[in-house]
Amino acid sequence: MNLSESQIQSIVTSVMTTLQVQSEKDGCHGVFDDMNVAIEEAKKSQKIISRMSMDQREKIISKIREKIKENAETLARMGVEETGMGNVGDKILKHVLVAEKTPGTEDIKTLAWSGDRGLTLVEMGPFGVIGAITPCTNPSETVLCNTMGMVAGGNTVVFNPHPQAVKTSQFAINICNEASLECGGPDNIAVTVAKPTLDTSAIMMKHKDIPLLVATGGPGVVTAVLSSGKRGIGAGAGNPPAFVDETADIRKAAQDIVNGCTFDNNLPCIAEKEVVAVSSICDELMKYMVEENGCYVASKDVQDKLVATVMNEKGVLNRKCVGRDAKTLLKMVGVEAPEGTRCIIFEGPKEHKLISTELMMPILGVVRVKDFEEGVATSVWLEHGNRHSAHIHSKNVDRITEYARALDTAILVKNGPSYAALGFGGEGFPTFTIASRTGEGLTSAATFTKRRRCTMSDSLCIR
């Protein structure tokens, strides 16, 4: 059924109003007034989920997938309306990607081996109730992706969402619980509080029944989780460089870089944040970016105005600029950009504030280097040791290998847009919790399990 723009907006408004009413009632579809109560209810549900067969868990996950697709546009519009970040079209695509490619119970595997002294099994068991902190950049995508993976592993989850995206996150949590109930599962497989705060986050992190913490957000929240004294999975900052050498398909590189950078207005942490280009092809690359990919070249004056607008003197980003499109950002500094402007580009040194800082907005500084060796060193410096994501455009396999080893990131995309790493135009699966800091990389259902060994001594080896 095709709905008009006004009908869709009416649905979004109705959902957000309903959530406001529901969040004031204790225990409504996973939304509680008290964090301790939320954790207790999730604990009750986890005892049920952990005893379910893999087939039963998979039915719940399949139902969540269905509901994500049914509500993809509503979730996308809610996210943009509540946070002011990103764009509806790309957020719809992200929700469909989550629905179709997030790993479920197939990711939970058993390792077995036998020998003269018997049989040993190593199985993936649940942690229990997982505590998760989610960002405002991908509020529903992170909740839905994590819930499917955590439930597949036999866990339940309590979320402390970002306060700027609480309604969108709560709606996603409601979807997960409705899916479970419709499949004969328990309510409260995912829970949260009506009004998440730093205090509710602290309660969650210190609670005796939370053995594993998962943080998706900035360096501050990741540091807090990793300082909790508990097992923590930290998905923090990145500043992914896109390096282009003289062997690359320059025209395609320009298209891939701009497509990756502008996807959802540069909110994904894996997105291209700056470009490093060998001098001999730098002008050609920028020419294609402008003439064929909707880029606007910022003058020195415009660059200075952007610096003053998108961040303060200490380099802290202006939230009113994060996730905004290029035309909006230019309008903020008094520039009326032509129709079709997608990205703001300029050439500058690697130390330029708009280049060295992870912006999460479609501004791409281009750093010119004399050769491949300088390009690698510059890319390493710009990535700041986050070990998160990096990209390269080159037809030289040896160079790609050298670059990959030097950057040592959880994600490396070669000759494609950044989002190819998440299974969108490339092979693989999506996740919105990329744990570069703690080493898990792209998280999935298996990440949210613990390994348990069971040994039968001197028996059941029948070879």
Q: How many CA atoms lie within 13 A of 192 on its CB side?
A: 33
> What is the separation of C-alpha 80 from the centre of its chain, rounded to a whole number of angstroms?
16
Output the average pLDDT for the chain: 93
| Residue appearing with tokens 């109930």 | 181
User: Given this model, what pLDDT does residue 120 score?
Assistant: 95
pLDDT of residue 21: 47
pLDDT digits over 215-253, tens only?
A: 998 888 888 898 899 999 998 888 999 999 999 999 999
Residue 1 confidence (pLDDT): 47
Is residue 189 classed as helix, strand or coil in its secondary structure? coil
At residue 19, the pLDDT reads: 52
Please return the burial class of 245, using the count of CB atoms within 10 Å of its CB with bins 0-12, 13-18 and 19+.
Answer: buried
Write down the pLDDT at residue 67: 98
Mean pLDDT of 366-379: 98
For the chain, give the percent of residues with pLDDT over 90: 87
- Span 256-274, pLDDT tens digits: 999 999 999 999 999 999 9
> DSSP H helical segments within 183-214, as ranges?
198-206
The pLDDT of residue 27 is 41
Tell me: pLDDT of 338 over 60. Answer: yes
Q: Pick the closest to residue 106 from 45, 48, 165, 148 (CA basis).
A: 148
The two three-digit tokens of residue 349, written as one number: 């040194």
| pLDDT the model gives residue 193 | 97
Does residue 174 surpass a pLDDT of 80? yes
> Which pLDDT tens digit goes with each residue over 73-100?
999 999 999 999 999 999 999 999 999 9
Tens digit of each residue's pLDDT (9 = 90 or more) over 21-56: 444 444 458 999 999 999 999 999 999 999 999 999
CB 453 within 8 A of CB 116: no
* pLDDT the model gives residue 407: 97
Q: Looking at residue 25, what is its pLDDT? A: 44
Instruction: For 401-450, write each residue's pLDDT tens digit.
Output: 999 999 999 999 999 999 999 999 899 999 999 998 888 999 999 999 99
**What pLDDT sits at residue 13?**
58
pLDDT of amino acid 437 = 86
Residue 237 has a pLDDT of: 85
Average pLDDT of span 276-283: 98
In degrees, to the nearest 5, what angle opens at C-alpha 146 toward C-alphas 221 and 163? Answer: 45
| Average pLDDT score over residue span 341-349 | 98
Half-sphere exposure of 254 (CA within 13 A, CB side): 20
Per DSSP, the residues of 395-409 read S-HHHHHHHHHHH--
On whether the CB atoms of residues 77 and 258 are closer than 8 A, the answer is no
Q: What is the pLDDT of residue 23?
A: 45
| Residue 164, pLDDT score | 95
Q: Per residue in 142-168, pLDDT tens?
A: 999 999 999 999 999 999 999 999 999
Question: What pLDDT sits at residue 220?
Answer: 86
Residues 363-387: what's their mean pLDDT? 97
